[in-house]
Amino acid sequence: MNHKFTDFMQSFRGQKIAIAVSGGPDSMALLHMAKTAGLDIVALHVNHGLRAAAAADATHVADVAAKMGVACHILHWTGEKPARGIEDAARAARYRMMGEFCRANDIQTIMVAHHADDQIETFLMNLARGSGVYGLAAMRPESMRDGMRIVRPLLDIRRAALQKYCDENHIAYVHDEMNDDERFTRVRMRRRRGCLGDELGIGDDRILLAIRNLGRTRAALDAYITARMAGVIENGRAIFSAFFLFDEAADIRLKLLGNLLQHIGGNVYQPRLNALERALTQLNSDCKFTLGGCVLRRLGDRILIAPEGSRTSFKTRKGHEKTKQNCKA
């Protein structure tokens, strides 16, 4: 691996880090890299109970971690599993259980093994959904989820390089047959994305370049929106002038509303783009509706966003109406 990657890993020395390990070559490589870098790590493996080989995979991860001298904890997803949307449900359960373990053990950071090929697949899946800048910029190197810092150090490294790393270092890994199941959108994208390069000249390198460029745009938007949101949310809700939203350009308006809903609703993800667009249309006049676990209300030139089920009065707790604020000059 290059010096940039090595320097990045060294920046985590002195911290307790959890490594999410599925047992595949990407996460096994990350576990070995983190151990080689001298980081203080613990391995976390989630047994979703969805495959016949799940228990054997958990045993394999624990055995390899033990040989590396790394403590490994197996977390079990129990209870009923949904008949539809199993990928999303499994992902949510995985992060929930890892987060619970980390909070109980005073760990603030989880490293996950998403790599460059995952980035390409995420870009294409979001392109198919008609996503905007934020979706097409794909996964962030670092993000927050349920108060945990999620770090993705492998986003510039290809899947084949990680498998080669495992082979060269004699690291045994498992194969998840669900990665061959074309009922899943990501698998279909993975198997057919070569057509873009073969037939249209849009190769993986061009897609990765587009993701990096879009990532810079996303970072600039984030900085502006964070500054605009400063002081808007008070006591878990926001009251502001309609001008606060509608004087902004369309893209910023959408993201600003999405950020407010995500923060106030306490959600991992923001509502989809089309839902935000509909919400802004409704907020052009007096209204009251719910979205993203929040109640949105407009009365005159004021807009309120509050957690669903809470009071929707424009009055403060002291009984005085909130003054018009956050208007652009």
Could you read off the pLDDT of 252-269 as tens digits, one per residue?
999 999 999 999 998 888
Q: How far apart are CA 234 and CA 212, in angstroms?
A: 35
pLDDT at 199 over 90: no
Summarised one tens digit per residue, pLDDT across range 76-131 is: 999 888 888 888 899 999 999 999 999 999 999 999 999 999 999 999 989 988 88
pLDDT at 324: 44
Q: Domain spanning 3-198: which superfamily?
A: HUPs (3.40.50.620)
Task: Supply the pLDDT for residue 136.
Answer: 94
Q: Name which of 162, 184, 62 is nearest 115 in CA terms.
A: 162
Could you read off the pLDDT of 118-159 as tens digits, one per residue?
999 999 989 988 888 889 999 999 999 988 999 999 999 999
The DSSP symbol for 178 reads G
Dist. CA 173–CA 151, nearest whole Å: 22
Given a contact cutoff of 8 angstroms between Cβ atoms, the answer to whether 259 and 266 are in contact is no
Q: Comparing C-alpha atoms, which of 277, 314, 308 is closest to residue 295?
A: 308
Percent of the chain with pLDDT over 70: 93
Phi-psi map region of 247: left, alpha, beta (phi>0 left; psi -120 to 50 alpha): alpha
How would residue 328 be classed by pLDDT, with cut points 50, 70 and 90?
very low
Q: 233-307: which CATH topology?
A: 3.30.465
Tens digits of per-residue pLDDT, 48-65?
A: 988 888 999 999 999 999
Give burial (CB, 10 Å; 0-12/13-18/19+) of 121: buried
| pTM, to two decimals | 0.84
Question: Which structure tokens are listed for 303?
Answer: 């807009």
> What is the domain partition of the chain in residue ranges?
3-198, 233-307
Answer whether 178's CB lies under 8 Å from 50's CB: yes
- pLDDT confidence band for 186 (50 / 70 / 90): confident
Q: How far is it, in rounded angstroms, from Cα 79 to Cα 307? A: 28
